[in-house]
Structure 1
């Protein structure tokens, strides 16, 4: 479930007759608890409550239904209950069906409300569904409620009007929804007078059967597109002229309206009854966007972009500077005036604006600063000097582009009401301006200079229809000489494997002929390159939310030299963090924020999350493409280790069509009839086998044992199948291997033991999985192996230091760590280790292995689940990290940013002063 569905479920719950016995289970069901979970609670199997009438779900909530009038006392009993603490409940809730009281125990936040108003507080309980509670939703749930109600209306209308769901009419449908949103907002905020004029008129003039509802709404739309003086001549009925002339293109063009069923008419009334004046345009737009997208409607609420995350981009980009100037100005009237004039010329440009979140938040933040300037100057009633048209955007799809414009219009009105008063805001709001400042088109194909020119005027076209603009639409004509431009946004991320053919072509237009292997770049790389080219002709500073993969691994030497060649440097950055959404149990995508400028400040800020979730700020002279405070350089693969480490080999590639591979049952069948063949069968390990504990085997046949192997018909059949597979393959190298079809292509094997590392492993783990296997084990090409290496090498691989190095220089496959021996192990910088260091590290590796063994038969996947890692194993790893980090700097590192900084510093010194280190260990045979 997502936030929209949860709000709807809670609303439905309070509308039903109150059932004291069932309430706790119905409440938990509304927050996505499965029926099997609820069944166990009902039976008492998992209900740990010690309060009469209570239901306690471990690690979640303690609920009690009580007698009338005893809600407060019952909540206290829940709070004081020993079981509440021992079961680690996050919330307590008491209700008698008339009132409800609840508390979030960690924060102490309390609600006390009528039972019927429980849906207004659903945001507090989102963690029950695995969703991080979001301040904006907790404080203002109307956005989620409105999205859910609009979605029901939208789906019902498409059901009644299937032709409107077709591509030819989808734009009309989306445009109709934009008009409705404006009407609902306008009638609740006094823009339409009397309040509720639109909904009341539709209810009064449309038939109960809903047969003429579409005609009534269409007539009202025509009235809002007709000047008051012309309404009588236009033949509009008197009942329609209750609504004012709106203009601005919102109601121009076709006034067709889809037909309404009785149910759709009922949904319309429900939507109109919401408190639209409380709508928050910061986040509302992105949620409405999902309503009109077939692929996204099933995930309503997942497009929520939180204000704090957006401010991670906007604050260091320019808002922090504006606030510091405001602080410096104090009450100096001249300095305040200069700052206000500066702000009036600032342009914010989002070339992937979606439904306008970044632009709206930037606008509202700037209006707040301007309002404070006016207050200090004694000019609070002044009309704003910050024009909406300075907030430019490009969006590929037409509906989000319309919603972006609408969200900015709503934001402007709300700011006018807040800072100047309702009367002044209303007097200047209508009619809407017909100027257009959001472009609908492909940002990677359009010329950004024509859309947001550095100085002077933009290209001027007719823009009669603000909400029906073509691809080659108009840009407004405005003078902005000397203004600053800030480029920002959250462009689409698609990795190289997820890109559509047309997206590949977009990147080809930018990178072909400029970067080898450009096809491996993430889609977001196109925005960075376009921003860098744009910045060559302007003084613009750009910052984007991006997949952290473009600052990791092999994408770094592909993209960043091109960006730096334009004269740009990294001005500030925020290292990896989760950009989570409102989907249940959704971890969100891991992102970074990178700001680039041709004129960065001498000291740059690098933001990163500390272990306790707080943001640490590192001030540096330079930030490189790996988002480390160090000089620019690109780490490339090495064939030999940089430090005195043992050789790491790629695992054995079978090239056998799986015919030499045996599962446990197949192995058992062979050995049951031929125990003498046991020496031909060895356990085999790739990433999945040793992480998940899977059992798999292979036939490992030396040449002198071939006759013995072929004496078994089943093994002989398998060898023959390998021969066929190799001789018919298009791979010429496999053709050559047909002469030894009884063997893997590669034959690397240990004498004493092997240290194994998977090629890919989950980013959720705090450590890279590494394991010790006996000499009999065979490693596949899904893992790397150090054959017969001393155990202290394992301690290095198991460290936090090595994980952050691999995450930075090797990159990821989707969201998983992608290991590389040549790029990750061979480049890993390690100080010269003494024999005592090696002995101590060996002991740490042994302690890790012993801690694992104590939890047999738990698998690596079980043991390294970050939420269930055994304490003794975590302690063993902590001791390993303590020892290793003291070898590096004499103490523990504060965070991963400091770890990387030291590693890069050491790497620079070692590559500058040392020749390549000769391989250690033996060449396996």
Structure 2
């Protein structure tokens, strides 16, 4: 078979002969290209006409989108449209190639948007095909000639090496940072022919004598082509490389511009582009320009200034579009007026603020340099921007009056705020924002303050942890926003490209109730950076950021909350309470009485990952026994005393030290006794869940599922087994109750009402179970049918696990991936039985039905009426019905 270069030469000759205008030419071009790269089968390639006449698209899995234009097309003029089309697609192929039959322009919009990674002609392909290595059936890492991110990382590494050498030899960190920041400004300034203005930007900066090694690294950095260094990427990586724990940029993440554009496009670009397009005269265009030039933008957590840089450059592009319109409308003189002085930022890191000032200073030259061929104007004079960009905690600082707020506030879960920021800070936060729930995530404070600060008609776009759409965070943040504003565009969940390994939500809104127009909601369907996307258009987007019925307004039902049926499993608090089977059996053989305090312990991975679901470890649980009684169990007690007591003593002492620091500041402050309480009862589990054990005691078995999961898989468990806190436990032993819990009706309610951990759902009793309305008037026949369907499902499931030799996780993964599974008919039958028990009409939306029922039952409770609560017992069944809903299967100790 001919080599790759030979095949590409044949392709180039064929492409040169194509007129390059119609579908036949486009199809032949695409097929011959893939064949030349060695593709024998084209089943993974999709060829289709584009939205524009005479243009065609070729998509190859998640790797390539080739946008084929007619021969002679100026490809540079199509980059913006290509990026926005790629940005809005449900799938984001890694590489985007623009082609006009003679030229290829290669983009990776996740790395760099405005500059292609490579440009090459078709005739160059036989010898320059390394840039398209990703197109081979066995892909090779592509080699690009204009990878600006790679150049940027190398430059940062060199400067970071100088920084750490300076610090190691005793130069103060702040001086070393500012010294290198001045060098950065010099290098960029020289590359873009900008005269340095050190007196404005770096007053009173001490000179530093460098060692030979430091000079070597600095000269190597200076040798890079700084005109090709990506300024926003540089700022993010440079800031991180200055941290104490970071030595270089190669492993550091940065927020790619494609993600920044998920805020800048809907919040800034598209609303103003629509206004420009709607203007019908030069007078109207000039009025739009006047407003655009007065637009003020704030990033209250600006970091190194990436969001502000991108926003500034996009406003210049909008001004250019407006100028082009005016040029066509009339000969009206046009004077550019967009100013960097209309951009503002706050950040707690003084070095980040200095870096942001330099970023925006350079932006005035770099952006205009990029646009100058179409926009021949002189940049505004440099200014130090000290009044625009300030080092301060935005939550305790007055914000400047602005029209647009955008950015990426700090990520901090509600559970870590006190540990990371300290109890004194948390108290100040609660005093300043009493209307925000103490259980809300940190970023919620930023969302709420941003909305309250906006003028009527102002817009905002912020990134938050994806828990902002759940429970207390949702109610305090997005729930407040939609009371007087409208979410216009949102991402429910996305794998974030930034430094934090989290799933995020992105929310863009206008401070205007019921704003007209369709709203766009999208979400990523997997956990990988290149997972597919889904997008829907809605009349409105609720605070849950869900395309389904918004059930955030469901109310807690007293019949559920007071039933004592739903619990979290035991939290041991120290790993020494857990025993491997061999150690547990040895202790049990040594003293028969140890069986009272050594019990099988079931964790989530046992339930989902082991074929029989049995426990893989044991737990030492002294229960409510006092210290004297616990000592009677010699071996278990000795283990806990040796391993647990010292750690709890140390934790209590550290807590006491922290409390003393707090009380010195505020003698009336509330202090923590979390670890002190554990120390006082050091031989006991942290949270034994005695109330749960009391509820399970009279039962022959109990139902359980993993608490954090994509899909809840319920099983009955023997009461001889203790459940871990990785499980949510239901004090039911009848098949009717099991059937309700395992049904897709309950599953949909669960996913709509729960919180999440990354993309997995977390079952929370207060929001899921306590508000879940149970059937109110099922007939005896309907109850029995649910019980039978539940038993049948477990029978089919047990048989499949035995025959296939797999785990429950694997069994349900196949079901969810393809829908073809021995479980499918059994689950469908259960769902039909459950819907019948509810009296749910055919085709009804389960969430809407459940929400309406929830509101009806809450109203009846408020009026003093009694409703049917959870489980079979709430129906007051007769003896025959109770027998018909009983069985014995359950997970037993191994």
| 1:664–1:697 Cα contact (<8 Å) kept | yes
Residue 827, structure 1, aligned to residue 745, structure 2: no
- 1:340 is displaced (CA, Å) by 1.1
Gaps of 5+ in 1: 1-50, 53-65, 93-103, 193-243, 455-484, 894-898
- 1:115 is displaced (CA, Å) by 12
Residue 550, structure 1, aligned to residue 468, structure 2: yes
CA distance in 1, matches of 2:518, 2:374: 42
Deviates more, 1:287-296 or 1:633-642: 633-642
| 1:313–1:543 Cα contact (<8 Å) kept | yes
| 1:624–1:630 Cα contact (<8 Å) kept | no
- Could you say which residue in structure 1 is the equivalent of 2:254? 304
| 2:186–2:196 Cα contact (<8 Å) kept | no
Cα distance change, pair 901–312 in 1 and its aligned pair in 2 (3 A): farther
Residue 250, structure 1, aligned to residue 201, structure 2: yes
1:682-721 aligned within 5 A: 683-693=600-610, 694-697=615-618, 718=636
Secondary structure of the 2:393 match is: coil
TM-score computed with the length of structure 1 as normaliser: 0.64
CA distance in 1, matches of 2:42, 2:574: 57
1:269-668 aligned within 5 A: 269-297=219-247, 300=250, 302-329=252-279, 332-378=281-327, 382-421=334-373, 424-425=376-377, 428-429=378-379, 432-449=382-399, 452-453=400-401, 485-499=403-417, 502=421, 505-512=424-431, 515=434, 518-535=437-454, 540-557=458-475, 568-572=484-488, 574-581=490-497, 588-593=502-507, 595=509, 597=511, 599=513, 601=515, 605=519, 607-609=521-523, 613-620=532-539, 623-624=542-543, 637-641=556-560, 648-650=565-567, 663-668=580-585
CA distance in 2, matches of 1:656, 1:272: 53
**2:39 corresponds to which of 72, 80, 87:** 80
CA distance in 1, matches of 2:135, 2:334: 38
Question: How big is each residue's C-alpha offset from its partner over 1:482-514, in whole Å with a ceiling of 9 and x where there is no partner?
Answer: xxx011111001113333564654453343286
- Could you say which residue in structure 2 is the equivalent of 1:240? none
- 1:356 is displaced (CA, Å) by 1.7
1:149-298 aligned within 5 A: 149-159=155-165, 162-163=168-169, 166-167=172-173, 170=174, 172-189=175-192, 191-192=193-194, 244=195, 246=197, 249-254=200-205, 256-261=207-212, 263-297=213-247
| 1:646–1:921 Cα contact (<8 Å) kept | no
Cα distance change, pair 347–818 in 1 and its aligned pair in 2 (3 A): same
CA distance in 2, matches of 1:296, 1:723: 39
- 1:686 is displaced (CA, Å) by 3.8
- 1:371 is displaced (CA, Å) by 0.9
Residue 856, structure 1, aligned to residue 805, structure 2: yes
Question: How big is each residue's C-alpha offset from its partner over 1:692-713, in whole Å with a ceiling of 9 and x where there is no partner?
Answer: 445234699999xx9xxx9xx9
- Could you say which residue in structure 2 is the equivalent of 1:785? 729
Gaps of 5+ in 2: 11-32, 46-59, 65-91, 98-103, 107-119, 526-530, 650-675, 875-885, 887-894
- 1:254 is displaced (CA, Å) by 1.8
- 1:385 is displaced (CA, Å) by 1.2
CA distance in 1, matches of 2:464, 2:283: 40
- 1:159 is displaced (CA, Å) by 1.4
- Could you say which residue in structure 1 is the equivalent of 2:705? 757
- 1:750 is displaced (CA, Å) by 6.7
CA distance in 2, matches of 1:122, 1:582: 27
- 1:650 is displaced (CA, Å) by 2.3
- Could you say which residue in structure 2 is the equivalent of 1:766? 710
CA distance in 2, matches of 1:626, 1:634: 13
Cα distance change, pair 299–746 in 1 and its aligned pair in 2 (3 A): farther
Residue 147, structure 1, aligned to residue 153, structure 2: yes
Cα distance change, pair 181–323 in 1 and its aligned pair in 2 (3 A): same
| 1:287–1:301 Cα contact (<8 Å) kept | no
CA distance in 1, matches of 2:161, 2:635: 59
- 1:142 is displaced (CA, Å) by 0.9
Alignment RMSD (CA, Å): 5.6
| 1:380–1:420 Cα contact (<8 Å) kept | no
Cα distance change, pair 668–162 in 1 and its aligned pair in 2 (3 A): closer
| 1:552–1:807 Cα contact (<8 Å) kept | no
1:707-746 aligned within 5 A: 718=636, 746=693
Secondary structure of the 2:717 match is: strand
CA distance in 1, matches of 2:333, 2:355: 29
TM-score computed with the length of structure 2 as normaliser: 0.66
CA distance in 2, matches of 1:284, 1:641: 54
Question: How big is each residue's C-alpha offset from its partner over 1:237-262, in whole Å with a ceiling of 9 and x where there is no partner?
Answer: xxxxxxx453671354325245152x
Question: How big is each residue's C-alpha offset from its partner over 1:594-650, in whole Å with a ceiling of 9 and x where there is no partner?
Answer: 6362555256735132759444334335734676787896556555339xx997342
1:38-117 aligned within 5 A: 79-80=38-39
| 1:757–1:784 Cα contact (<8 Å) kept | yes
CA distance in 2, matches of 1:560, 1:543: 12
- 1:374 is displaced (CA, Å) by 0.7
- 1:343 is displaced (CA, Å) by 0.6
- 1:83 is displaced (CA, Å) by 14
- 1:369 is displaced (CA, Å) by 1.9
User: Number of paired residues?
Assistant: 725
Cα distance change, pair 605–248 in 1 and its aligned pair in 2 (3 A): farther
- 1:368 is displaced (CA, Å) by 1.7
| 1:663–1:695 Cα contact (<8 Å) kept | yes
- Could you say which residue in structure 2 is the equivalent of 1:920? 871
1:880-899 aligned within 5 A: 890=842
Question: How big is each residue's C-alpha offset from its partner over 1:678-724, in whole Å with a ceiling of 9 and x where there is no partner?
Answer: 99986442435424445234699999xx9xxx9xx996765899999
Cα distance change, pair 877–105 in 1 and its aligned pair in 2 (3 A): farther
CA distance in 2, matches of 1:745, 1:719: 24
Question: How big is each residue's C-alpha offset from its partner over 1:2-31, in whole Å with a ceiling of 9 and x where there is no partner?
Answer: xxxxxxxxxxxxxxxxxxxxxxxxxxxxxx
Question: How big is each residue's C-alpha offset from its partner over 1:565-591, in whole Å with a ceiling of 9 and x where there is no partner?
Answer: xx74453452522243278xx964333
Question: How big is each residue's C-alpha offset from its partner over 1:753-804, in whole Å with a ceiling of 9 and x where there is no partner?
Answer: 4321234x2xxx5312432334654435553333454446545545666456
- 1:418 is displaced (CA, Å) by 4.2
| 1:153–1:267 Cα contact (<8 Å) kept | yes
| 1:493–1:524 Cα contact (<8 Å) kept | yes
| 1:750–1:775 Cα contact (<8 Å) kept | no
- 1:351 is displaced (CA, Å) by 0.5
| 1:309–1:579 Cα contact (<8 Å) kept | no
Cα distance change, pair 90–77 in 1 and its aligned pair in 2 (3 A): farther
Cα distance change, pair 719–288 in 1 and its aligned pair in 2 (3 A): closer
| 1:750–1:776 Cα contact (<8 Å) kept | no
- 1:918 is displaced (CA, Å) by 3.2
CA distance in 2, matches of 1:180, 1:607: 44
Cα distance change, pair 292–501 in 1 and its aligned pair in 2 (3 A): closer
